[in-house]
Copies of this chain bind each other. A is one copy, B any other.
């Protein structure tokens, strides 16, 4: 099951569409909601705060973090169990060196590949565990940091929206004209608050939580890989290895796994 993440663009289109619908159904046109200076102060100002917070290496990662939030994660757990069973069979029959060929072709599973290479090279079981743990922590940090950038941006944006509204209010109140002038000044002043709320709740926060959630999915997959690798290196029986790996499946996957297993048997 390849997890597709088509939902990110669908969600964005849906949220924007509904906002536009609300604006248009108000009958005052979309023009009063477009204001470049308001955009600059809210989104630009909060991006300035992001720049103050992070160094260049981190800020450079924002585009790749954005891509991360659109791409699905390829964490096919059912396939992984099959792979481990096959590898285990070969090793039992022909020894650990027999999987060398197969391992060299695992381009799309770098973590699994690295672990198997270490095992083939005869690296000590404890060292393999240690290396994979560090790797896992590093992956966790990459996701955590990427998510934090967007969440922090999502906390700065409404604040700069409020700053924009306060600036507008102070200007308006410092020199009042007719009530009509006040109302329209107020209307302009509120646009930055609207921008701050919209960008934060439609983009920054959802993207931040999206990356966080993707990180959890991948980390769980990697933990399953570590579990399988340790099973292989400890020479667990096929039954014990399978039992451990199946535990990582959710209910639905577990059923489809049991069905496919019994078919074979």
B-binding residues in A (CB < 8 A): 1, 3-8, 10-12, 14-15, 18-19, 21-23, 25-28, 32-33, 37, 40-41, 44-59, 72-73, 118, 121, 123-124, 127, 130-131, 134-135, 138, 141-142, 152, 156, 159-160, 162-164, 166-171, 173-176, 179-180, 183-184, 186-187, 190-191, 193-194, 197-198, 200-203, 205-207, 209-210, 213-214, 217, 220, 227, 236, 239-240, 243-244, 247-248, 250
A58 touches B213 (CB 8 A): yes
B213 touches A191 (CB 8 A): no
A15 touches B48 (CB 8 A): yes
Task: Give the number of copies in the complex.
Answer: 5
Q: Using Cβ atoms and an 8 Å threshold, which residues of chain B touch A166?
A: 190, 193-194, 197
SS of A interface (majority): helix
Question: How many angstroms from the CA of A203 to the CA of B173 in the assembled complex?
Answer: 27
B163 touches A201 (CB 8 A): yes
Give the residue of B22, B46, B51 whose beta carbon is less than 8 angstroms from that of A164: B22
B194 touches A54 (CB 8 A): no
Q: Using Cβ atoms and an 8 Å threshold, which residues of chain B touch A18?
A: 40-41, 44-45, 48
Given contacts A131-B247, A186-B173, is CB(A5)–CB(B56) below 8 Å? yes
Q: Using Cβ atoms and an 8 Å threshold, which residues of chain B touch A124?
A: 240
Q: Using Cβ atoms and an 8 Å threshold, which residues of chain B touch A14?
A: 44-45, 47-48, 51
Nearest CB to that of A193 among chain B residues?
B166
Nearest CB to that of A185 among chain B residues?
B173
B198 touches A163 (CB 8 A): yes
B49 touches A202 (CB 8 A): yes
Q: Using Cβ atoms and an 8 Å threshold, which residues of chain B touch A131?
A: 243-244, 247
B170 touches A32 (CB 8 A): yes
Question: How many angstroms from the CA of A134 to the CA of B173 in the assembled complex?
Answer: 57
